[in-house]
Amino acid sequence: RKEVEQDPGPFNVPEGATVAFNCTYSNSASQSFFWYRQDCRKEPKLLMSVYSSGNEDGRFTAQLNRASQYISLLIRDSKLSDSATYLCVVLIVTDKLIFGTGTRLQVFP
Amino acid sequence: DAGITQSPRHKVTETGTPVTLRCHQTENHRYMYWYRQDPGHGLRLIHYSYGVKDTDKGEVSDGYSVSRSKTEDFLLTLESATSSQTSVYFCAISESTSGRASQANEQFFGPGTRLTVL
């Protein structure tokens, strides 16, 4: 079983739609959680950290469920520019980041 | 954007040749990392450094070595390249690894190096 698992997608949604991605992790001692965004043939960039209480940044909301060991990312009012691959990332106890394989989002007009 | 560059950006080489990739940062961050990214796999850690001359192995370190003689430079060497090492290589830097989600342990990535081993 992979340490971090994501649905690879693609998720094809129209502009203005709300879309949600989930990610599960296997290490119950995982300490920190992040969502990174990666555009095609570009480097990953941090989208947002995921806090235990959940957090929101504009149209983006991240949630953490430690009991079920998953994190989620909700994108409201999708824009064409949101088209990218979203990487779920977990910081494990050895201070190393474990990356999921990513979920691809395609927003169409 | 964080000041992090990688060179070369693209390289084609033949099996058995040595290859060195360079990562250079201007942020004075303590931690530096080398990852490879392949289809069907997430980014996988090859080696990382927690200071000058201090390095450690990641999950896919076989066939790779690293060196860090200066804070700003982290070199990845493939002593004898193989076709299985064809990949996109990313360097990353971070200020700390405190274990808590914070801006300090955000990893900033370089633009990547596309390496093809024929």
From B1's Cα to the closest Cα of chain A, the distance in A is: 10
Q: What is the pLDDT of residue A93?
A: 64
From B38's Cα to the closest Cα of chain A, the distance in A is: 9
DSSP A63: E
Rounded Cα gap, residues B89 and A27, in angstroms: 26
Q: Do A42 and B105 touch (CB under 8 A)?
A: no
The tens place of each residue's pLDDT in chain B, 118 residues long, gives 669 999 999 999 999 999 999 999 999 998 999 999 998 888 999 999 989 999 999 989 999 999 999 999 999 999 999 999 999 999 999 886 554 545 446 789 999 999 999 9
**Which of A30, A43, A71, A103 is the best substitution to test chain B (most B C-beta atoms within 10 A)?**
A43
Rounded Cα gap, residues B31 and A42, in angstroms: 21
- Listed residue (B75, B79, B96, B99) closest to B25, CA to CA: B75
Q: Which tokens in the block code for residue A87?
A: 């990487």
Q: Do A99 and B112 touch (CB under 8 A)?
A: no
| Nearest Cβ partner for A97 among B41, B107, B112 | B107
Tell me: the pLDDT tens digits for A29-64? 887 899 999 999 899 999 998 888 888 999 999 999
> Is B82:B25 a contact under the CB 8 Å cutoff?
no
Our measurement of the distance from residue A109's CA atom to the centroid of its chain's CA atoms, rounded to an integer in Å, reads 23
> Is B25:B7 a contact under the CB 8 Å cutoff?
no
Q: Do A32 and B101 touch (CB under 8 A)?
A: yes
| Nearest Cβ partner for B112 among A43, A45, A46 | A43
Helix (H, G, I), strand (E, B) or coil at A56: strand
Q: Which residue of A has its CA nearest to B48?
A: A96
- Let me know the angle formed at the C-alpha of A68 by A65 and A70, rounded to the nearest 5 degrees: 55
Q: Which tokens in the block code for residue A79?
A: 């824009």
